Amino acid sequence: MKGDGEYKRKTKKDKAHRNADIYGKYSPKHVRMQEELIEKRLQINQAQKPGNEENLEKNKKDRYKQ
């Protein structure tokens, strides 16, 4: 019969428990959004370092396009 032996069928509950262990109370979508924001902030901070005036102007223009 199916279900006998070592193999255990994975259910929705199993997936929910696994995601809760990995991401905590946040959804995977929320985690991806946070990572994207962190990357954008790093790019902006690097552009604002002294000597990168060109990059700063470029980032300002890009922000206003959106």
Residue 57 has pLDDT above 90, yes or no: no
Contact 52, 45 (CB under 8 A): no
DSSP string, the chain: -TT-SS-----HHHHHHHHHHHHTTS-HHHHHHHHHHHHHHHHHHHHTSTT-HHHHHHHHHHHHH-
User: Percentage of the chain surpassing pLDDT 90?
Assistant: 21
Q: What is the pTM of this model?
A: 0.45
CA–CA gap between residue 42 and residue 64 (Å, rounded): 18
